[in-house]
C-alpha cells in the first residue's frame, strides 16, 4: 500500500496488541543506548495489558534484556532479535540460536571486515548480528554488500534491512513468525491481533496480522502492507494514551475500579 493511509480508530474490545519499540514507542536516536520509552507510555502499555488480560507483547530487533530495561518497572511478553528469542506470558523463553562455532567465526569475520568502515558498528546479539551505519551513512552500500557476502559465505543465515542497519539472522526468523507463535498461546489465542511498527523489519508482522484479519498500523511514511498509519512517534503515543483512556472509561462505566477487570 502507498500513502495516504488513515489514522487507526481507538479500539475497544478483545484484542492482542503487539508493539515495535524504536520508531514506534520511542524516538530513534543516533545511538541505541540513548533511547527511552517515556514513563506515561510505559504506564499506558501496562494499563492496556491489564485490560486485555496480558495480551500485549513488545516485538523488536532489540534483545529481551534491553526490552525489559526500557519497559521497567513493567514486564511484558517479548519477542527480541526479531523473534529469535521470545518470552511468553508464563515467563518461559524460546530461543533460536546460531551454532557456537558459526557465531564465533562470523563475529570475527564481521569485525575484521568492518574495521575500515569508520563510524560503523557491529552489534553481536548472540543469535544475530546488526551492522549499524547511522553515524556513517556514506557506508550504506559497503555495509549492504558486506551483509550479502556474509549470507553467501555462511550457511543458514538471512538478511533483514532496517533504518540505518542491516541485520544478519537465522533463516525463518521474523516478526510475523513471532506474532503467529504468540497467537497460538493464551492470552493471545482467539483475539484479534493489532501490530504497530515503523520499519522494513515490521512488514512481515503487518502481513501476518492482515492474514489473520487483524489491524496493522504503520508509524511514519513509506510504502507498507499496513492498513492504517500514524504520522510520527508522537502520534503513536497519543493513540496509545487514547487506547488506555478508552479502556479506563469502559471500566468506570461498568462500575469497576481496576483496569484488571474484563470488558
Q: Would you name the residues annotated as active-site residues?
A: 20
**Centroid of chain to Cα 14:** 21
Tally of CA atoms within 13 A in the half-sphere of 227 that contains its CB: 16
Q: How far apart are CA 180 and CA 25, in angstroms?
A: 21
Q: What is the 3-state secondary structure (H, E, C) of the chain?
A: CCCCCCCCCCCCCCEEEEECCECCCECCCCCHHHCCCCHHHHHHHHHHHHHCCCCEEEECCCCHHHHHHHHCCCCCCEEEHHHCEEECCCCCEEECCCCHHHHHHHHHHHHHHHCCCCCCEEEECCCCEEEECCCCHHHHHHHHHHHHHHHHHCCCEEEEEECCEEEEEECCCCHHHHHHHHHCCCCCCCCEEEEEECCHHHHHHHHHHHHCCCEEEEECCCCCCCCEEECCHHHHHHHHHHHHHHHHHHHHHCCCCCCCCCC
- How is residue 55 written as a grid cell? 495480551
Q: How far apart are CA 9 and CA 7, in angstroms?
A: 7
Amino acid at each position: 500500500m502507498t500513502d495516504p493511509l488513515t489514522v487507526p480508530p481507538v479500539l475497544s474490545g478483545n484484542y492482542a496488541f503487539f508493539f515495535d519499540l524504536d520508531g514506534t514507542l520511542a524516538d530513534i536516536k543516533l545511538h541505541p543506548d540513548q533511547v527511552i520509552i517515556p514513563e506515561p507510555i510505559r504506564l499506558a502499555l501496562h494499563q492496556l495489558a491489564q485490560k486485555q488480560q496480558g495480551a500485549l507483547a513488545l516485538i523488536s530487533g532489540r534483545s529481551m534484556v534491553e526490552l525489559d530495561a526500557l519497559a521497567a518497572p513493567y514486564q511484558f511478553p517479548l519477542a527480541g532479535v526479531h523473534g529469535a528469542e521470545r518470552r511468553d506470558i508464563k515467563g518461559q523463553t524460546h530461543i533460536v540460536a546460531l551454532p557456537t562455532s558459526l557465531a564465533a567465526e562470523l563475529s570475527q569475520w564481521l569485525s575484521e571486515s568492518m574495521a575500515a568502515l569508520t563510524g560503523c558498528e557491529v552489534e553481536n546479539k548472540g543469535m544475530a548480528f546488526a551492522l549499524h551505519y547511522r553515524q556513517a551513512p556514506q557506508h550504506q552500500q559497503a555495509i549492504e554488500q558486506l551483509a550479502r557476502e556474509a549470507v553467501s559465505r555462511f550457511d543458514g543465515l538471512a538478511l533483514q534491512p532496517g533504518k540505518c542497519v542491516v541485520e544478519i539472522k537465522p533463516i525463518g526468523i521474523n516478526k510475523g513468525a513471532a506474532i503467529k507463535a504468540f497467537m497460538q498461546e493464551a492470552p493471545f489465542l482467539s483475539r484479534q491481533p493489532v501490530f504497530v511498527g515503523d520499519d522494513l523489519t515490521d512488514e512481515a508482522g503487518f502481513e501476518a496480522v492482515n492474514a489473520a484479519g487483524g489491524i496493522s498500523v504503520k508509524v511514519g511514511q513509506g510504502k507498507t502492507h499496513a492498513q492504517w498509519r500514524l504520522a510520527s512517534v508522537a502520534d503513536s503515543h497519543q493513540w496509545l494514551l487514547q487506547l488506555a483512556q478508552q479502556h479506563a472509561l469502559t471500566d468506570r462505566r461498568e462500575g469497576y475500579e481496576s483496569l484488571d477487570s474484563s470488558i
